[in-house]
Amino acid sequence: MKFFSTSEKQTSNFAKKFSKKLTGGQIIGLTGNLGAGKTVFTKGLTLGLGIKKNIASPTFVLMKVYPVNKHQIKFLVHIDAYRIKSTDDLIAIGAEEYFNRSDSLVVIEWADKIKTILPKKAKFVNITIDKASRIINY
Ligand SMILES: Nc1ncnc2c1ncn2[C@@H]1O[C@H](COP(=O)(O)OP(=O)(O)O)[C@@H](O)[C@H]1O
Ligand SMILES: [Mg+2]
């Protein structure tokens, strides 16, 4: 399905709504060019999950884990694969351990870069830049 967003706020609100359908054990892979809105989308998800902290993009730390208290979701794991040189980098920091945990929801920016280590169950959301708007394919 497609959602057309004409502002950062619309993307954030869409992600907030999208988060309501998510459960623990899921992996959401975000794809799209630099500046498409993957981090904006992730922030919207965190708002929907009741995470109060203003999430910083984990570009420099690869992975951040936030506590969540939403039904069976106890952790939101935010991974940014932008700077990853090898999937070994992620394996080394234990990212894979979250992929099969029913209490964790994993959101991955630049997920296409680490496709080889993602389980088949991963769902992808692609954001395309179209002039000043964004097309969110989900
Ligand atoms: N419709 C939109 N949805 C999301 N972001 C938008 C939109 N229109 C403009 N922007 C801007 O695009 C940028 C998206 O940044 P970011 O989420 O960090 O991208 P990414 O993580 O995909 O590299 C922000 O500066 C945001 O304000
Ligand atoms: Mg980003």
DSSP characters over 48-109 = HTT--S-PPPGGGTSEEEEEEEETTEEEEEEEE-TT-S-HHHHHHTTGGGGTT-TTEEEEEE
- Over residues 84-127, the pLDDT tens digits come to 999 999 999 999 999 999 999 999 999 999 999 999 999 999 99
CA distances from 83 to 58, 63, 71, 89, 123 (A): 10, 11, 33, 10, 21
If you measure from the C-alpha of residue 35 to the centroid of ligand 1, how many angstroms do you get, rounded to a whole number? 5
Confidence class of residue 59 from pLDDT cuts 50, 70 and 90? low
Among residues 105, 86, 85, which one has the least CA distance to residue 23?
105
If you measure from the C-alpha of residue 38 to the centroid of ligand 2, how many angstroms do you get, rounded to a whole number? 5
Q: Which residue has tokens 């975000």?
A: 30
User: If you average pLDDT over every residue of the chain, what do you get?
Assistant: 95
Verify whether ligand 1 is closer than 6 Å to residue 59 (CB atom): no
Q: What is the pTM of this model?
A: 0.96
Confidence class of residue 76 from pLDDT cuts 50, 70 and 90? very high
Helices 38-48/8-19 angle, 10° precision: 50
Q: For residue 33, give the ligand nearest its CA.
A: 1
From the alpha carbon of 132, which atom of ligand 1 is closest?
8
- Over residues 4-23, the pLDDT tens digits come to 999 999 999 999 999 999 99
CB proximity list for 77: less than 8 A, separation 6 or greater: 63, 64, 65, 66, 95, 98, 104, 105, 106, 107
Classify 2-137 by CATH class. alpha beta
If you measure from the C-alpha of residue 78 to the centroid of ligand 2, how many angstroms do you get, rounded to a whole number? 10
What is the residue with the minimal CA distance to atom 13 of ligand 1?
Answer: 35
